C-alpha cells in the first residue's frame, strides 16, 4: 500500500492489531477476484523510494473464514 500519514487507519495500524480486510490481488476491474476476512497484524515494514513514494507492507495471520468473491 502507499503509506499516507493523514489516513488515521494506516497510522493506528500496529503489530498485534485485529483487522478486517479486503484484498484485490488481480485489480478492481469487473470479474477480478477479491478476498475478504479478518486477521491479526504480525509485521510491517515501510520503504522510502528515490521517487518519494512511501510504501508499507503489512503481514497478517487470518483468524476466520476467507470469503472469495468477484468485483
What is the Cα–Cα distance from 68 to 70, expressed in whole angstroms? 7
More confident residue, 4 or 28: 28
What is the Cα–Cα distance from 71 to 62, expressed in whole angstroms? 21
CA angle, 29 then 65 then 39, to 5°: 85
- Cβ-based neighbour number of residue 49 at 10 Å: 8
Give residue 37's pLDDT. 96
Percent of the chain's residues with pLDDT above 90: 51
pTM (2 d.p.): 0.70
Give residue 8's pLDDT. 80
Q: Residue 26 gets which letter from DSSP?
A: T
Q: Residue 66 gets which letter from DSSP?
A: P
Give residue 49's pLDDT. 76
Give residue 44's pLDDT. 86
Give residue 2's pLDDT. 65
Amino acid at each position: 500500500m502507499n503509506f499516507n500519514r493523514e489516513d488515521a487507519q494506516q497510522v493506528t495500524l500496529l503489530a498485534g492489531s485485529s483487522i478486517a480486510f479486503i484484498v484485490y490481488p488481480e485489480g478492481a476491474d469487473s470479474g477480478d477476484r477479491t478476498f475478504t476476512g479478518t486477521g491479526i497484524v504480525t509485521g510491517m515494514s515501510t520503504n522510502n523510494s528515490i521517487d518519494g513514494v512511501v510504501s508499507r507492507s503489512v503481514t497478517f495471520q487470518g483468524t476466520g473464514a476467507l470469503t472469495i468473491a468477484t468485483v
